[in-house]
Amino acid sequence: MKLGLFNLMSYQDNPGGVGGIISNTRDMVAMAEQIGFDIAWFAEHHFTNYSVSVSPLMMCAHFAGLTKTIRLGAGVVVLPLYHPMRVAQEIGLVDQLSGGRLVLGVGTGYQHYEFDHFNAPIAEKTEVFLEYWSILEQAMEHGEASLDGKYIKSDKTVFTVRPTGNRLPELFITTVAPRIMAPLCKRGATPFFTAGWRGSKTLFEMVDNGRKVWDSVGLAHRPMPVALQQYIHVTDSPKEALEAAERARFVGRMVSALREPNVQTSGTFLKVGPLPDEPGLETFRDNLIIGDAHHVAMRMAEEIRRLNPVHYNCFFQFGDMPIARSLRSLERFGSEVLPLLEKEVGPLETIGQASRPAATAAA
């Protein structure tokens, strides 16, 4: 099992503004690399304070020059918002810049607000994704691409810049839509699951549903690899635990607002109210992995035993949490939580082995 650090890079009350958020992310990634995390992931979102990471590939390119060992994950490239001929080259370039450390996550996106402002048809996002993916796959693996599709038409084009080894980077997807899961998971893609603030119970249900889809698209002959993501905050303070829960609630409210077709903003800042049937802060705290080192380790161990993940992605700086708290939590995770976790579940590198994907020929 690999460990990841997720960087959403939301903007709430950061005193340094956008530059401060970027600086905080540099500090978080530097510490994660020092601890021994495997991948630093960068989100993609547009036009609101939900995230200032408008290009995960640009973030990966930036951190290629600041890091040495940690791999760099685009989490994820919202493919329908790109021109595939361009992004195929950019993926190749980032992988070359990082010495082959790029990890590629792709998805269809979900935010009406983003699609509307790109004048992209969200109702057709799956069809667009599949056509664009065809270009990426051809370009990265064969060095040339052509397609006479509904959304993209291109004569044969030769690509000079390709990923190292002329192969697809390690691949993750954020959907269990059968039409996407079938072709990409047969190529070795790992499905990513996150339940947000709803916690482990909802996460287990999502993975169980994903496994049903996995089996239905002809992959039942091997176990589904699972990548999961959880909010984590290590603290001994009950007051700080509730404050962390409040930051997570802020993110949850933004996600809920952005799933709707009519988004209200004040400039770039989202106008958000309570979630439908919103619970108290104690529920957010208890659903998420917030507490002392022993509590965090035991909660993670429970999920690991149940899901046998190949990747566990940790979200430490959520809701624009003050950087000192996020760094302290991350440092304690490395020094206190990981030894307790390995005492419970054994060496992390032995977890998920039976589920690790192996790419096959294109379907």
Is 2-355 a domain of CATH 3.20.20.30?
A: yes
- At 360 the pLDDT is 42
Please write the tens of the pLDDT for every residue from 176-221. Answer: 999 999 999 999 999 999 999 999 999 999 999 999 999 999 999 9
- At 353 the pLDDT is 79
Pairing of strands 190-194, 227-234: parallel
How would you class 316 by CB atoms within 10 Å of its CB: exposed for 0-12, middle for 13-18, buried for 19 or more? buried
Q: Are 189 and 173 in contact (CB under 8 A)?
A: yes
Please write the tens of the pLDDT for every residue from 182-193. Answer: 999 999 999 999
Domain boundaries, the chain: 2-355
Pairing of strands 144-148, 153-158: antiparallel
Nearest CA to 230 out of 318, 308, 298, 295 is that of 318
Segments of the chain with pLDDT less than 50: 359-363
- At 181 the pLDDT is 97
pTM: 0.96
- At 228 the pLDDT is 97
Nearest CA to 285 out of 274, 294, 295, 270 is that of 295
- At 357 the pLDDT is 54
CA–CA separation, 78 vs 4, rounded Å?
20
